[in-house]
Amino acid sequence: MKIIITGAGGFVGQELARVFAADHHIISLTHKALDITDRETVRAYVNDKRPDVIINCAVLGVDVCEAHPALAEAVNVAGPTLLAEAAAEIDAEIMHLSTNYVFDGDRELGAYYTANDEALPINKYGETKLAGERAVLAGAPKSYVVRTSWVFGPGKDNFFRSAARSLVTQQPVRAVNDLWASVTYVSDLVARISDILALRRYGTYQVVNDGCCSHFDFAVELARQLNVDASTLVEGISDATAKRLARRPRNTPMRCLLSAELGLSPMRSWQVAAADFLRQLGG
Ligand SMILES: NC(=O)c1ccc[n+]([C@@H]2O[C@H](COP(=O)([O-])OP(=O)(O)OC[C@H]3O[C@@H](n4cnc5c(N)ncnc54)[C@H](OP(=O)(O)O)[C@@H]3O)[C@@H](O)[C@H]2O)c1
Question: What confidence tier does 61 reach under pLDDT thresholds 50, 70, 90?
Answer: very high
> 11 C-alpha to center of ligand 1: Å?
7
- What whole-number percentage of the chain has pLDDT above 70? 100
pLDDT of residue 22: 98
- Please say if the pLDDT value at position 283 is more than 70: no
> 233 C-alpha to center of ligand 1: Å?
31
Q: Measured from the CB, is residue 148 less than 6 Å from ligand 1?
A: yes
Active site residues: 125
Q: 143-148 and 173-176 as β-strands: parallel, antiparallel, unpaired?
A: unpaired
> 17 C-alpha to center of ligand 1: Å?
14
Straight-line distance from the first to the last Cα atom of the chain, in angstroms, rounded to the nearest whole number: 31
Q: Distance (Å, rounded) from C-alpha 269 to C-alpha 184?
A: 9
Dihedral angle, C-alpha 27, 5, 272, 228, nearest 10 °: 90
Which SS3 state, helix, strand or coil, does residue 17 take? helix
Q: What is the mean pLDDT of residues 90-99?
A: 98
pLDDT of residue 282: 86
Domains in the chain: boundaries: 2-151+183-210+254-268
In 3-state terms the chain splits into helix, strand, coil percentages (rounded to 5) of 45, 20, 35
Q: Measured from the CB, is residue 97 less than 6 Å from ligand 1?
A: yes
The mean pLDDT of the chain is 97
Dihedral angle, C-alpha 194, 195, 199, 203, nearest 10 °: -80
Crossing angle of helices 270-282 and 186-199, in 10° steps, is 120
- Please say if the pLDDT value at position 213 is more than 70: yes
Q: Distance (Å, rounded) from C-alpha 183 to C-alpha 180?
A: 9
Neighbours of 168 (CB within 10 A): 14
Evaluate if pTM is beyond 0.95.
yes
CATH superfamily of the domain spanning 2-151+183-210+254-268: NAD(P)-binding Rossmann-like Domain (3.40.50.720)
Instruction: Note the pLDDT tens digit of each residue in 118-148.
Output: 999 999 999 999 999 999 999 999 999 999 9
Q: What is the mean pLDDT of residues 183-195?
A: 98
- Please say if the pLDDT value at position 149 is more than 70: yes
